[in-house]
Amino acid sequence: MEDGGTRHLSHECRVDMMEEEGEPLTGGDGLTGAGVILIPKLPHVEFSLECRDLIGSGRDRKPNALVQVAVIDPREQYLVSHACTEIVEGSRDPLFLTGVTFPPEYPASPETLVKLTVYDVRDKARDNSSFLGSATFSVSDLLRSKDDQLTLNLRSSDGVLAVGTVLVSRVNMGEMEEGDMDHITADVQQAQKCTLVCESSQGTLNDKDNSPLTGAVFKNPVCKVYKFQTVDSKWMLVREQMEECTLSFSIPRQLLHLYIQEDMRRIQELRDLGELSPHWDNLRKEVIGRYGQVIAAYQETLAELNKITGPSFKPSCSKAQRYLEFIPINLHTQRMRVMCPRQTDAFYDVITVGAPAAHFQGFKGGGLQRLLSRHEAEKKSFSTAYQCIYYSPEHTAKAQEVLHSVGHLQPLISGLADQLLQAAQQHSMAGLREALKTLAGKTEQFVHALKDELVKSALLALHAAQPGYVTKNQNQTLPGHQGHSHQDHPSPSQRGQQGQSPPQNPGHSPGQPSATDSPVVVCNNVDGGSQTAPIREDGQTPLKRQDSIPCHKEYDEEEWDRVWADVAKSLNCVIAMVDKLQEQEPINNNQEQPIPKQVLADVITSHNPEGDWREQLCPLVVRLKECVAEVVVRARRAMTFVLLQEAACSIPQGLFLKQRRDVVFSQALAALACGFVMRLYAGMEDKGFLRQLHLVGLVAQFESLLSTYSEEIGMLEDMEVGISDLHRVAFKITQAKTDDPCDLQPVVIGRRDHYTVEVPLPRLAFQTLPHEIKEGKALQVYPVLFNVGINEQQTIADRFGDISLQERINQRNFEILDSYYKSLSDKVPSECLPCFQTQTDLKDLLGTLGQNVVTKKRKNVEILWLAGTICRRLNGIRFTSCKSAKDRTSMSVTLEQCALLRDEHQLNKDYFTRALDCMRSRLTQGEVVCQWDSDPEAACSVAENKPASRHFYPIALLLVSSHLLVVWLILSLVFLLAKYQ
């Protein structure tokens, strides 16, 4: 299995192959290879291969035949490998299931020469094969042939002896005729002749699969097409198409840019805090320095990513490269389309990706889940050492939310205020009322965002951190008094007269002053007790104080309350003035509810009601904008100080963990965006799906096959946090500026606490969407993760290790999935969900999944099968992951596809194993590489079928066996030592 490749459906490897056996590089008409690409387009040409009367290298030995297909490179005059069949063992008349395709986009012409070389593969493990014969023909020969068939003689190396014939049959992979299907018999020999696999770099079954819409995000498609027999002797056409996704690099690049912008804003906000005491100023400098290091590293990574051209995915062999750590591993889409007579075409999509994890940084200390838990427990001790207030993650998240809200709403309020003045200047009462309505709504939203005790507490803490600060009752405190005292803002005159308060002693908690300190600046309720604050005069109930919020009973609350309340008062004045102006309009007598006269009398009477509307409104609007600006300055500084203390308490591990979390989230978001876009494109004509999308959202089910052993425990811990962070992501559908592919690329906006992915659609497609989606409603995605390890390392973990992490993940995410189903049931009728042949009720499936989640069973792959089935029944997005999205991932995908063919499309039981083998095999020059996991029984037990053959290499078996033996011996020795001690 190549490290850099993909799964069972791989890209054609163009390997240069020197001219063999003296075969000339010209065709029968004397045309050389130089003319191969003169004609850029040709019809879609596909053909199957069959050999007859092969003469093996031994008299009594039947050959293991394989055909290599090559074309002539016109520029370098050598053969280039184009395709390769599977190996048909022990047959003189082999029928190859793998066909050959020359799609329209292939750089060839009707005069392109094709060389077929037949090998006898003696030893697959050692790549030992012998040449049997070869034949050459041109594409035009096949196009002009009678009955679309060519019969060619295979010639030996000297070109004299005929060693058999090869039959080249052109295949039309268009729509299947029902009558044609009825004439196909169920005879096994005939069935083999009708089963075909075609590999190509472009699909042909349906233009929808390769439309310009999908081509903007998905590229380099690779296809395989099969015909399989059903239980009623009919034939289904099955098509696999795998594609790369441009979002593998596009999303991480955008995130890096946003990370850099956010951290640079944070640095500027820290500088805008103004003058601080030496202790806090030193902490600020250290935090700014740390942010600067992160920014420099991100800028360097972004610059390197911008230089990369070529494939749109990161191969697993590059997972240890630093500059690629933000890129997901082997992110690909896999679509299986099934066409059956008298049935509607069915699509089954899955996204395959390597586990989102910080592979470059390693897992010696565990993954994010363990590191974050450990770090959060240590932050309190760090807060004591750095003399900071400990703020919980909820408080820091609230601080970031407030910062974002005020930063977002202030320019909106300012712009709406200008619109109000413009409407007043135009004497447009309708425009005035509309602008006022929007302005009032945004201003109320602004005031509500600041209605939190954290803002007041942070203002107190910031005030206490300024130079020369003393509490107003400092002179009343006896020397050496250890009780808590309360504080207030010093006046500007006091601030100038006071000297700088000495910094606290190292290791001293801010809530416990020493004898040399000024009276207590803050108090932490370390006992965990909290008292319910009384209801204030404005009717608001303050939040309960947490142990991280300082007491501030004697803090000058009036100053903040006055500034905060001035915003609402200014808005009321504007509303009252608009009502006053409306009274002058005889046409419209509708008025807002009256404002208290005592509040507005001075303001309204100071203006001439008969004068110009703009002149009367302008002072009030200016006052409103000034009040908003003053509140923003105070709130922004307060919340920035909260984040400064959080960053200071996090040194030195905090920013490192943030970087690791950024890396994991980048990989997870790229995969999620890929899956969302693929699901959206597939459901554009499904009204039920679109209704579900805007009413409830979509479930995104991540299937993980990681073991709970060794470094994969750290990967799973990273993945758990990364998938959980996706809850903060929303999607919006927008109308693209043009239909150019560049304008159809999704765009990420937002900040670390909340990102929005905007997915542009062409105008015609956008107009077909429901009104709610076109209006820009945020579309939610509910990611869930289920993990079941299936390899030999999981066997060790099940017997001797700890699988509690896996059990906790499955239980927690089952609860999320069950909650989503209940919400969906309440808002969306069952008719909106897809129909399946299996009629098991969704509620029953969820109940069975819940039972399996709590059942103690080794390698319980039933959990994965049930979760995947439920996801498809819920119109969800399916993801499958293992360490590198190769071996275990390909096993899961192929098994699921064959099971779907069996359960939903009546695949003949005799074809199940054969279909599984065909989908899992990947063929290269003279060698079969089958993507088998080292524990295939675990995955195959889901379908209660096992492959007919298993291609294990002896060396690999020996290494695995020796590894297990060594582990067993070591564990036995440990147990013996523990027993006798």
Find the Cα–Cα–Cα–Cα dihedral 74, 79, 133, 8, rounded to 10°: -120
Query: What band does 814 get if pLDDT is binned at 50, 70 and 90?
Result: very high
Asked if pLDDT for residue 375 goes beyond 80, the answer is yes
Q: Identify the helix (H) or strand (E) that includes residue 418.
A: helix 393-425
Percentage of the chain beyond pLDDT 70 is 71
The 3-state DSSP class for residue 769 equals coil
Is there a contact between 945 and 913 (Cβ–Cβ < 8 Å)? Answer: yes
Query: What band does 665 get if pLDDT is binned at 50, 70 and 90?
Result: very high
DSSP state of 339: E
Phi/psi of residue 17, each to 5°? Answer: -130, 125
pLDDT digits (tens, 9 = 90+) for 246-264: 999 999 999 999 999 999 9
Phi/psi of residue 335, each to 5°? Answer: -120, 130
pLDDT digits (tens, 9 = 90+) for 88-113: 788 889 877 777 777 656 767 777 88
Query: Is the backbone of residue 10 left (phi > 0), alpha (psi -120 to 50) or beta?
Result: beta
Longest dimension (CA), the chain: 116
User: So what's the pLDDT on residue 605?
Assistant: 44
In angstroms, the Cα distances linking 130 to 320, 561, 934 are: 39, 89, 30
User: So what's the pLDDT on residue 210?
Assistant: 52
Q: Where are the alpha helices (DSSP H) in 608-701?
A: 613-650, 653-682, 687-695
What rounded mean pLDDT belongs to the chain? Answer: 75
Which residues sit opposite 781 in a β-bridge? 698
User: Which domains, from first to last, does the chain contain?
Assistant: 46-170 (2.60.40.150)
* Residue 664: CB atoms within 10 Å: 29
Three-state DSSP string of 4-26: CCCCCCCCCCCCEECCCCCCCCE
Just list the catalytic residues.
882
Burial of 531 (0-12, 13-18, 19+ CB in 10 A): exposed
Q: What would you report as the CA-atom Rg of the chain, rounded to the nearest whole angstrom?
A: 35
pLDDT digits (tens, 9 = 90+) for 123-145: 877 778 888 899 999 888 888 88
Q: Look up tokens 């095999």; give the residue.
A: 921
Query: What band does 203 get if pLDDT is binned at 50, 70 and 90?
Result: very low
DSSP state of 555: S
Q: Which of 535-549, 591-605, 681-695, 927-941 has the lowest mean pLDDT?
A: 927-941
Burial of 414 (0-12, 13-18, 19+ CB in 10 A): middle
User: So what's the pLDDT on residue 128?
Assistant: 80
User: So what's the pLDDT on residue 96?
Assistant: 78
**Structure tokens given for 396:** 């820091």
Asked if pLDDT for residue 606 goes beyond 50, the answer is no
User: So what's the pLDDT on residue 894?
Assistant: 92
Residue among 518, 507, 515, 506 at smallest CA distance from 465: 518
The letter for the amino acid at 684 is M
Phi/psi of residue 744, each to 5°? Answer: -100, 10
Cis peptide before 506 (omega within 30 of 0): no
User: So what's the pLDDT on residue 95?
Assistant: 78
pLDDT digits (tens, 9 = 90+) for 317-346: 888 889 999 999 999 999 998 888 777 788
Asked if pLDDT for residue 7 goes beyond 60, the answer is no
Alpha-carbon distance of 558 to 753, in angstroms, equals: 32
Sorted by sequence, the CB contacts under 8 Å of residue 60 that are 6+ apart come out as none
The letter for the amino acid at 269 is E
Is there a contact between 243 and 681 (Cβ–Cβ < 8 Å)? Answer: no
pLDDT digits (tens, 9 = 90+) for 272-301: 988 888 888 988 998 999 999 999 999 999
Q: Look up tokens 């010093």; give the residue.
A: 490
User: So what's the pLDDT on residue 590?
Assistant: 45
Asked if pLDDT for residue 829 goes beyond 60, the answer is yes
Residue among 634, 484, 476, 639 at smallest CA distance from 552: 484
Sorted by sequence, the CB contacts under 8 Å of residue 2 that are 6+ apart come out as none
Report DSSP letters for 86-130, one per residue. Answer: --B-S-SS-B-SEEEEE-TTSS--TT-EEEEEEEEEEETTTTEEE
Burial of 22 (0-12, 13-18, 19+ CB in 10 A): exposed
**Structure tokens given for 452:** 């939190």
Query: What band does 917 get if pLDDT is binned at 50, 70 and 90?
Result: confident
Residue among 301, 302, 305, 295 at smallest CA distance from 265: 295
Alpha-carbon distance of 638 to 462, in angstroms, equals: 6
Report DSSP letters for 165-227, one per residue. Answer: EEEEEE---SPPPHHHHHT----HHHHHHH--EEEESS--S-GGGG-HHHHTTEEEEEEEEEE
Mean pLDDT of 650-677: 91
Q: Which residues of 282-314 are buried (b: 16+ CB within 10 A; e: fewer)?
A: ebbeebbebbeebbeebeebbeebeeeeeebbb
Query: What band does 118 get if pLDDT is binned at 50, 70 and 90?
Result: very high
Query: What band does 76 get if pLDDT is binned at 50, 70 and 90?
Result: low
Which residues sit opposite 131 in a β-bridge? 119
Q: Identify the helix (H) or strand (E) that includes residue 747.
A: strand 747-751
User: So what's the pLDDT on residue 212?
Assistant: 59
Phi/psi of residue 360, each to 5°? Answer: -65, -40
Asked if pLDDT for residue 610 goes beyond 80, the answer is no
Alpha-carbon distance of 969 to 964, in angstroms, equals: 9
The letter for the amino acid at 621 is V
Query: In this predicted model, which residue has the larger pLDDT, 658 or 82?
Result: 658
pLDDT digits (tens, 9 = 90+) for 676-735: 999 999 999 899 999 999 999 999 999 999 999 889 999 999 999 999 999 999 999 999
pLDDT digits (tens, 9 = 90+) for 446-499: 888 887 788 888 888 888 888 876 554 444 443 433 333 333 333 333 333 333
User: So what's the pLDDT on residue 469?
Assistant: 67
pLDDT digits (tens, 9 = 90+) for 143-195: 888 888 999 999 888 777 788 999 998 866 444 444 444 443 333 344 343 44
The 3-state DSSP class for residue 67 equals strand
CA angle at residue 827 from 823 to 828, to 5 degrees?
Answer: 110
Alpha-carbon distance of 925 to 16, in angstroms, equals: 11
Residue among 621, 652, 785 at smallest CA distance from 716: 785
pLDDT digits (tens, 9 = 90+) for 416-435: 888 888 888 888 888 888 88
